[in-house]
Amino acid sequence: MGQDIIFDLIEKEKQRQIKGIELIASENFVSEEVMKAAGSVLTNKYAEGYPGRRYYGGCEVVDEIEQIAIDRAKELFGAEFVNVQPHSGAQANAAVFLACLNPGDKVMGLDLAHGGHLTHGSSVNFSGITYSPVFYRVNKEDGRINYEEMAETARKEKPKMIIVGASAYSRDYDYKKFREAADEIGAILMADISHPSGLIAKGILNDPMSYCDIVTTTTHKTLRGTRGGMIMLGQDFENPFGQKTPKGELKMMSQILDSAVFPGTQGGPLEHIISAKAVTFKEALSDEYLTYIVQVLKNAQALSKALIERGFEIISGGTDNHLMLIDLHNKNITGKAAEKALGKADITCNKNMIPYDDKSPFITSGIRFGTAAVTTRGLKEEDMIKIADFVNEVVADPENEAVLAKIKTEVNSLMNSRPLFQW
Ligand code: DSN
């Protein structure tokens, strides 16, 4: 029997990753160790439950692994409680919703069209289907969160939970303002830090832990780890919902969240992925990672500046984190067309709605860039200027196959000089 075509396709994808410029803000490249753990024999193990209290035998080793993952995540984020089992950020958020809300309860998040996330109340997602979403937005003038409108909407709508976090917002958050808005109406405050979690862990951005009741994140974006999610509490607290333990004591929020992950929303945890999370956290605790994440920010600011110098309009005028959202109106090209043309030149990014967009989510007026992945490839500020030039040339002449082919050659040559994948 010949080799399964799947392995040929994996090799093809590997070559695509090696030769292109990866600007998708939610992607990154993991280390050899993270990859080894994710592809290990731990995939064979069922371990429903938690370390020391499982529903299967033979869990002694995975118990140790999961506990190490929990302990490292606690150290990395200064959290008192961590659940490392969510398979993804969406799963982590679903568990928090289950823990804190009843079907139909109101929840307030940043509008998806203003940079928010699908799981923060979008009408096509469980969060908007099962619960009643209301939204806050960014200002049209400066692209920054309108904190006054957010507080006013909270006062008027009285959501049971407020969510801070986004997938296309390039500025830091004023968590204190969200805390005040939540306290005024007795709402739970949740932060989804999936995008900037690496910058937060290393103290480069404001820390949500002391302001937000519950914090969720993915592990594969700026954190540079395996795909996955987790839930954290800066400090555990008595749940405000009245659920009691069999002994009649009020359950702690950590207990409710654990139950909401398993058995609430998931079955067996992916112990191979949990082991890869543990490796990720060890790497993120290192000084090497600090150097990396500082460079991610420097690169984002260099790319944003170089794009602005070439006439691109960046929403909010720049970035505090690893990403930027570009309004393409003045370049007379849609997000969809720009994504396609850049793709032909081996520059991968995604079309993205911009705030107050006049186009549909399938067309869009914007594109989103992030620097987490290119920084892992070893690119520095001077390379960001080259990338801005490539993008500028492609966007100026998106139908010109000769131009696209020329840029593609230059992109491949730049990336061939930055090796990836030793395995
Ligand atoms: N889809 C991810 C992103 O690209 O931001 C978030 O889940």
- Is the Cα torsion angle 72, 320, 189, 211 positive or negative in sign? positive
| Cα angle 353-25-412, degrees, rounded to a multiple of 5 | 110
Q: What is the pLDDT of residues 290-331, one digit of tens each?
A: 999 999 999 999 999 999 999 999 999 999 999 999 999 999
d(CA 332, CA 104): 42
Annotated active-site residue 236? The verdict is no
- At residue 98, the pLDDT reads 96
Return per-residue pLDDT of the chain as tens, 423 residues: 689 999 999 999 999 999 999 999 999 999 999 999 999 999 999 999 999 999 999 999 999 999 999 999 999 999 999 999 999 999 999 999 999 999 999 999 999 999 999 999 999 999 999 999 999 999 999 999 999 999 999 999 999 999 999 999 999 999 999 999 999 999 999 999 999 999 999 999 999 999 999 999 999 999 999 999 999 999 999 988 878 888 888 899 999 999 999 999 999 999 999 999 999 999 999 999 999 999 999 999 999 999 999 999 999 999 999 999 999 999 999 999 999 999 999 999 999 999 999 999 999 999 999 999 999 999 999 999 999 999 999 999 999 999 999 999 999 999 999 988 765
Take atom 1 of ligand 1 and give the residue whose Cα is closest.
26
d(CA 196, CA 166): 9
Annotated active-site residue 60? The verdict is no
Q: Which of 27, 48, 157, 381 is catalytic?
A: 48
Bridge partners, residue 138, by sequence:
145
Q: How far, in Å, is the centroid of ligand 1 from the Cα of 26?
A: 6
d(CA 374, CA 384): 9
Which residues form the pocket of ligand 1, taking CB atoms under 6 Å from any ligand atom? 26, 89, 117, 167
- pTM: predicted TM-score of the whole model, two decimal places: 0.97
What phi, psi does 407 have (nearest 5°)? Answer: -65, -40
Annotated active-site residue 227? The verdict is yes
What phi, psi does 262 have (nearest 5°)? Answer: -130, 125
**Mutation probe of ligand 1 site: the residue of 91, 221, 364 with most atoms within 8 A of C-beta:** 221
Take atom 3 of ligand 1 and give the residue whose Cα is closest.
26
DSSP 251: P
DSSP E strands, 60-122? 81-83, 106-110
Least Cα distance to 92 among 215, 254, 255, 238 occurs for 215
- At residue 422, the pLDDT reads 66
d(CA 371, CA 196): 12
d(CA 327, CA 357): 9
- At residue 423, the pLDDT reads 57
- At residue 60, the pLDDT reads 98
- At residue 241, the pLDDT reads 81
Q: Is 173 helix (H, G, I), strand (E, B) or coil?
A: coil
- At residue 240, the pLDDT reads 83
Annotated active-site residue 144? The verdict is no
* Ligand 1 atom nearest to CA at 218: 7
Annotated active-site residue 74? The verdict is no
**Mutation probe of ligand 1 site: the residue of 23, 24, 26, 169 with most atoms within 8 A of C-beta:** 26
Q: How far, in Å, is the centroid of ligand 1 from the Cα of 166?
A: 9
